[in-house]
Structure 1
Amino acid sequence: MGQTNSTQTRIEQREGSAKLEEKEYGNGCEDLLMKLPDECLGLIFSRLNAPDRNRCSLVCKRWLGVEAQGRRLLSLLAQSDLAPLLPSLLCRFENVTRLALKCPRRTPGIDDNALVLVGGLCPQLRRLKLKGCRQLSDDGLVDFAKICGPLKKFSCGSCAFGVRGLNGILRHCAFLEDVSLKRLRGLVDDPKEFVGPGTNKIKRICLKELCNAHLLSPLIAGSKHLKTLILCRVFGNWDRLLEIITEHLKELVELHLEKLQVSDRGLLAVAQCRSLQVLYLIKAPECGNWGLTVLAMGCKRLRKLHIDGCLSGRIGDEGLISLAEKCSELQELVLMGVNTTSESLVVVGANCSQLERLALCNSETFGDNELACVAHKCNALRNLCIKGCPISDKGLEALTGCCPNLSKVKIKKCKGVSATGATTLQMSRGGLLVSLDTEILVTPKEIPPIRTSQEGSGMQSMHAATPSSRSALAKAKLALAAGGSFVAGTLLRRTSSSSGS
């Protein structure tokens, strides 16, 4: 009995001392985060990703409020069960300027009432993205446009509304600058209804995978201050439409024509855009040398040009020579499926003195002579990419003493180029990075010194101490050349786990 009382007494004494220590510790220490201003705390939250911000908001009520006040971007799963939660969510994040509502396929999404609720509770909304919201109709979009904030960017994809809803956005959103439409199912061919005209503040329009292209021509033509126009897989004959549109686009700077039904007649219309600087002509098999010639005569300020000839053979030296002679400000040239030879590359090197990036893909005529021509003529070149061309190690030798500004060479699917040839090019220039398919050459600064022995067999292996060689699957191979002294380079090959023996 006495032993039990003594044990209980000791327990009480320990608890009392623990409470005393806790009290003293609490009086002597203070929470420094409580002194941190809300502005600084919000700045810290802005540097975190979305999952970390969500975790921080659960720490205390103060962090919950500060994190909500600083949230500008909000992405929600726009299923039908989101509608009852919208008032509490949007009242918490009242400063949201960018909102994305995405609904998965074959899932009921939000309706018109929910979209109108978004417009009323987000007074500072600048950007709205709708994806897969098939329950939204034209009426809901018009009602939203009447009460939404100063909307500047509107993007939608895989939705069911049509011409009337889009016209409501264009009519009521006076600050709209960016419009992106993709896979709209509600664009029905009606001779009485068209999309547009656009407002004078629209600067960018992106149209992808749409039917009834003629319904969108007033939208483009009415945007007189348009800077960027992207057309990708927009069905219909665009030759006549481009003739109508380009008469009004005097300030167009960037144009993408990807997988369109367009010919040289359409390029003749594009030539009216005198301010054009960036052009993507991708998979347009009906365009040829004549179209490029007339294009070069009108668009002399081109800086960036991408051409995918689809191996049709309609684009070759004749068109490239015209471009090089007229477009002297060209800085980036990408040719895919275009059979070019030294005849046109000489003109490109002589006239385009600012050319910094050159890419040639799947060209049957670009060989060692053409590569040597590029090396000797393009002195400002910084980035060179060659894919699927008949070049060899002999052609790479021309790059060893030319192109003083060259910093990166990328070679893919060129059967005539070996690892030894790429290594020799790598070792000949200190700051050059050479990439050969999955084999990446290491810069000379990262290669450790080689210690040779008289008893060696002439071949030695080593592992480069680089970040890319830390993996257990990475293997290093040393390419050595005979001739009295060793010339070594290190190749890192990424191998799969199945071949790591």
Structure 2
Amino acid sequence: MHSSIDALYVASSVFLFLDLLFFALHREFLGLDRFNFDLPRFFQLFACRNSSITVFLIYLFPDGNFCPGGSIYPNPKESNLFLSLGHHVDVYFPVCKRSRISAPFVFSEEIFEEKQPASIEVLPDECLFEVFRRLPGGEERSICANVSKRWLMLLSSIGRDEICAKKTDPSFEMEEKFLPNKAHESSECNKKGGIVGSNGNKVEVEAEDEEIEGDGYLSRCLEGKKATDVRLAAIAVGTGHRGGLGKLSIRGSNSTRGVTNIGLKAIARCCPSLRVLSLWNVSSVGDEGLVEIANRCHMIEKLDLCQCPAISDKALLAIAKNCPNLTSITVDSCSNIGNGSLQAVGSYCGSLRNVSIKNCPLVGDQGIAGLLSSASYLLTKLKLHALNISDVSLAVIGHYGKAVTDLVLSGLQNVSEKGFWVMGNGLGLQKLRSFTIISCQGVTDIGLEAVGKGCPNLKQFYLNKCAFLSDNGLVSFAKAAVSLESLQLEECHRVTQSGFFGALLNCSGKLKALALANCLGFNDLVLGCPLIARCTSLQSLSIRNCPGFGNGSLAMLGRLCPQLQHVNLNGLHGITDEGVLSLIENCETGLLKVNLSNCVNLTDKVVSVFARLHGVTLEQLNLDGCKYVTDASLVAIAENCLFLSELDVSKCAITDSGIAALACAEQLNLQILSMSGCSSISDKSLTSLVELGQTLVGLNIQHCNAIKSSTVDLLVERLWRCDILS
């Protein structure tokens, strides 16, 4: 069979050859005089071609333009195998079938063709660096960064001053109008990525829109496993053409491939508009990365370093010298940062306003003194926690803290009574408005009185764990602090009712908020007090977890403070209905927020009086843990409380009937309802809860064991606008 096919092929080829030869010899007769016939060339072509038709066409059109349409295959190497088609040629070519191979095995082409890497991949990093820095814009760089990790890291290693931009690029034209010097006439890219201006001077340019980049509004936060060098490189390359990175926060680090100096360097090179940098618990980042940030990101305004043991004075010194716009610095648990860098920050950062230093063992009096003495006229907020400083530092604060408005001193074990006395008598804290003292054993009656006298504009004062402060010191401070508006005492166990009410009566008449928490020195003693001495300015009263505070003290507060609007009596197990009623019945203005949580002895009587006397003003009511409160309280609330928006009856003795009463209230517009742990609430409350859900945005039904899961699903479906905790 194969022999007959071969014979037929030979015969057809001979016939075609003779026809072509006849056509060539009789071209004049056929009217084709313009074709010159060269018989030797004809035979030469015929011997080299396996297609007679191709020979004929090539001979007639020696320049190869026998079909103006061009080749149907883009590869020029295949042009000798196929005919090109013009737009006027109508030729049909059947699909060529691949010939069968009669062999025991059929091998694929991949076995014989060795895969060659892309030609650009064989280039060394130095060559790719030169290619990438000549990309026209940020989008092109982002696209290239998606190719491979190698390309991404190379792109992130290109500094903004190393990018070559051409004037012909649209993105560069947009940048050009925002540059300070707009005279650019040469598009030649110099070695550092600059443009030569008309005056011959080099003008530095960026590859992105400087106006948008200057805004630096983009914010990125990496936490835990997501904090890696690769992600930082992607952020560095990708944020440039979208406005520039303005805030970067790194919290924690990947345990195996976490953030190192390489990632921070990528941010430094690509994000010159960075303004806020936070590094928390990043042990693998050291001076090298932060120094690169300092050298390239001169717009840094806020720096937050927490648990970065590898960062030392060297990095902070570079920040101080290169970032003059620094306004806020926080250094927490950085064991290698000491006095030298703090002195440099005070000297070089003329805009510094906020300083927080915590648990840095190398920071002492010298660093604090150098910082305060240099930045005394602008520094407004100062926080010192768990430092090895002495009375000298407090004396410096009292003398140089002329602009300080907020001061926090915490865990200063080496500071004595003398330090607070000198600080108060230094007369430098004239602008101090808020003062917080925590766990400082040097706070005594004498020192606190001096602070009150030396801070005439002090409005908020918070004392916590000051064991040596007594009633006399508290009363003396209240007399001296003529502008005091808020006083908070926590775990001051030597303060009793005498000091509490003495401070209340001896304040300047501006005290608006008074709070006690976890003070164990109270005993419910009835003290004689003339009715004429009242504190009419007090609007907020909070007494939490003070077991000795009872009904007698509440009754006295009711007589002394008639203008109360916010009352918090959380955890006062000793009070009953009698004491609370004596307080609320003397409130001349309506109560707005009341918290009676964990007052286990209160009953429906108190709630009913609340609703009747203050229902038109009451906005928030917390009865969590009041186990004697029943449905009667909910009925009173539904009838009288017109503006109540938040109600907490968790672990109260309420049932489905009480919820139904709330749902039937015509003017009640509850937004948050919490009834966690109410075991008597069942599926019967579904209709009532759906009715209340028209205004609810928060519903807590946790530990309501009588409510089935199917009912909860229905609530979630119907109250789709409400956040339901179940």
Q: TM-score, length-normalised on structure 2?
A: 0.53
Q: Does 1:250 align with 2:429?
A: no
Q: 1:38 to 1:408 in 2, by over 3 A?
A: farther
* Superposed displacement of residue 369, structure 1: 2.5
Given that residues 385 and 410 in structure 1 are in contact (C-alpha distance below 8 angstroms), is that contact kept between their aligned partners in structure 2? Answer: yes
Q: 2:288 aligns with which of 84, 88, 108?
A: 84
Equivalent in the alignment of 2:385: 182
Q: Does 1:264 align with 2:471?
A: yes
* Superposed displacement of residue 269, structure 1: 2.5
Q: 2:564 aligns with which of 335, 340, 355?
A: 355
CA distance in 2, matches of 1:352, 1:276: 17
Equivalent in the alignment of 1:150: 351
CA distance in 1, matches of 2:518, 2:244: 56
Given that residues 306 and 335 in structure 1 are in contact (C-alpha distance below 8 angstroms), is that contact kept between their aligned partners in structure 2? Answer: yes
Equivalences for 1:44-443 in 2 at 5 Å?
46=217, 50=221, 58-59=237-238, 61-63=240-242, 65=244, 67=246, 68=271, 71-77=274-280, 79=283, 81-103=285-307, 108-160=309-361, 161-174=363-376, 175-184=378-387, 186-187=388-389, 195-196=396-397, 197-214=399-416, 216-217=419-420, 218-222=422-426, 223-225=428-430, 226-261=432-467, 262-271=469-478, 272-295=480-503, 296-308=505-517, 310-314=519-523, 318=527, 325-336=533-544, 337=546, 339=548, 345=554, 348-349=557-558, 352-378=561-587, 379-389=589-599, 390-403=601-614, 404-418=616-630, 420-428=631-639, 429-432=641-644, 433-437=646-650
* Deviation larger for 433-442 or 303-312: 433-442
Secondary structure, in 3 states, of the residue corresponding to 2:400?
coil
Amino acid at match of 1:90: A
Q: 1:52-107 CA deviation, whole Å, 9 max, x = no partner?
A: 99877643643364755664322125647431122432344322221111125xxx
CA distance in 2, matches of 1:209, 1:284: 15
Secondary structure, in 3 states, of the residue corresponding to 1:169?
helix
* Superposed displacement of residue 158, structure 1: 0.8
* Superposed displacement of residue 377, structure 1: 3.0
Given that residues 308 and 338 in structure 1 are in contact (C-alpha distance below 8 angstroms), is that contact kept between their aligned partners in structure 2? Answer: no
Given that residues 317 and 341 in structure 1 are in contact (C-alpha distance below 8 angstroms), is that contact kept between their aligned partners in structure 2? Answer: no
Given that residues 252 and 275 in structure 1 are in contact (C-alpha distance below 8 angstroms), is that contact kept between their aligned partners in structure 2? Answer: yes
Q: 1:370 to 1:469 in 2, by over 3 A?
A: closer
* Superposed displacement of residue 47, structure 1: 7.4
Q: 1:133-155 CA deviation, whole Å, 9 max, x = no partner?
A: 11122233223322233211111
CA distance in 2, matches of 1:49, 1:338: 47
CA distance in 1, matches of 2:685, 2:625: 28
Q: 1:345 to 1:290 in 2, by over 3 A?
A: closer
Given that residues 229 and 256 in structure 1 are in contact (C-alpha distance below 8 angstroms), is that contact kept between their aligned partners in structure 2? Answer: yes
Given that residues 391 and 419 in structure 2 are in contact (C-alpha distance below 8 angstroms), is that contact kept between their aligned partners in structure 1? Answer: no
Unaligned runs of 5+ in 1: 3-7, 14-29, 448-457, 479-491, 496-501
Amino acid at match of 1:199: G
CA distance in 2, matches of 1:50, 1:315: 52
* Superposed displacement of residue 346, structure 1: 5.4
Amino acid at match of 2:429: K
Given that residues 531 and 560 in structure 2 are in contact (C-alpha distance below 8 angstroms), is that contact kept between their aligned partners in structure 1? Answer: no
CA distance in 2, matches of 1:257, 1:315: 22
Given that residues 385 and 411 in structure 1 are in contact (C-alpha distance below 8 angstroms), is that contact kept between their aligned partners in structure 2? Answer: yes
Amino acid at match of 2:242: W
CA distance in 2, matches of 1:471, 1:368: 28
CA distance in 2, matches of 1:324, 1:258: 32
* Superposed displacement of residue 392, structure 1: 1.4
* Deviation larger for 269-278 or 89-98: 89-98
CA distance in 1, matches of 2:698, 2:536: 40
Equivalent in the alignment of 2:43: none
Return the structure number with greater relative CO, CA threshold 8 A, min gap 6.
Answer: 1
CA distance in 2, matches of 1:461, 1:338: 40
Q: 1:204-243 CA deviation, whole Å, 9 max, x = no partner?
A: 2101122022274234543331211111111235222213
Q: 1:244 to 1:323 in 2, by over 3 A?
A: farther
Given that residues 243 and 266 in structure 1 are in contact (C-alpha distance below 8 angstroms), is that contact kept between their aligned partners in structure 2? Answer: yes
Q: 1:193 to 1:377 in 2, by over 3 A?
A: closer
* Superposed displacement of residue 388, structure 1: 2.6
Q: 1:424-447 CA deviation, whole Å, 9 max, x = no partner?
A: 344232431211237898885579
* Deviation larger for 408-417 or 139-148: 139-148
Amino acid at match of 2:383: S
Given that residues 122 and 149 in structure 1 are in contact (C-alpha distance below 8 angstroms), is that contact kept between their aligned partners in structure 2? Answer: no
Q: 1:353 to 1:118 in 2, by over 3 A?
A: same
Q: TM-score, length-normalised on structure 1?
A: 0.74
* Superposed displacement of residue 383, structure 1: 0.3
Amino acid at match of 1:270: F
**Structure with more strand by fraction:** 1
Secondary structure, in 3 states, of the residue corresponding to 1:117?
helix
CA distance in 1, matches of 2:514, 2:391: 34
Secondary structure, in 3 states, of the residue corresponding to 1:328?
coil
Amino acid at match of 2:338: S
Q: 1:242-280 CA deviation, whole Å, 9 max, x = no partner?
A: 133333222211111111021012113302111111101
Q: How many residues align?
A: 443
* Deviation larger for 61-70 or 300-309: 61-70
Q: 1:302 to 1:60 in 2, by over 3 A?
A: closer
Amino acid at match of 1:268: V
CA distance in 1, matches of 2:303, 2:360: 16
